[in-house]
A and B are shown apart, each in its own frame.
Chain A
């Protein structure tokens, strides 16, 4: 039972590069979320999706893009990476918006 799977686990990028963080869930959950967590801070919502084809901005969407073509996958795209995007990124899913979220193990991203 995989749950929420994130890849890669670690990545170092140079300023200006782009990359896609992958997230997939096998629980047939409708809702999926992307968060970033800076050291000593809580989770800040980047984007979320209530179902395939539907996405919405969270608290800190600038510099990121998402798509949701299937129920299972919710990739996060970083364009023109900046040092301020150095963080730990968590993907999460839930069956409905009012229900608890299941988290992936996170992606540690450093931009130098």
Chain B
């Protein structure tokens, strides 16, 4: 079992729809959770981070965390073609060790 698993892609949604990206992790000692966006040929950039159970909203993005189920998700509302990218889930322990999932590629069709 991988330490961090993301739903297999690619994921395709029409413009204006909600895109849902999911991630599960195996290390119960994980304390901080991140979603990064990576355009082809570019470096990852931070979209959202979440530390506590529940929802965290930032504009069109909502991160959800459920530590009991070891599950973290990212919702993108009103998806735009510019949201087309690979989304990476990352999980950190307090010691600083960081583990990434393999990513989910999202395509938003106009």
Which A residues lie at the B interface, using CB under 8 A?
A: 31, 33, 35, 40-45, 48, 50, 56, 58-59, 90, 94, 96-101, 103-106
Contact = CB atoms under 8 A, between A and B. Distances in A.
Given A43-B100, A45-B98, A98 B44 contact: no
Interface residues of B, number: 26
Interface in B30-62: 31-32, 34, 42-46, 49, 51
Interface string B72-110: 000000000000000010101111111111110000000
Nearest to A90: B43
Given A90-B44, A103-B44, A43 B88 contact: yes
A100 B46 CA distance: 7
Given A98-B31, A98-B51, A98-B94, A103 B100 contact: no
- Top 8 A-B residue pairs of the complex, sorted by shortest distance between their CB atoms: A97-B96, A103-B43, A42-B100, A42-B102, A43-B100, A98-B32, A100-B46, A42-B103
A48 B45 contact: no
Interface of B: 4, 6, 31-32, 34, 42-46, 49, 51, 88, 90, 92-103
A101 B102 contact: no
B95 A104 contact: no
A45 B90 CA distance: 11
Contacts of A103: 43-45
B41 to A, nearest CB: 9
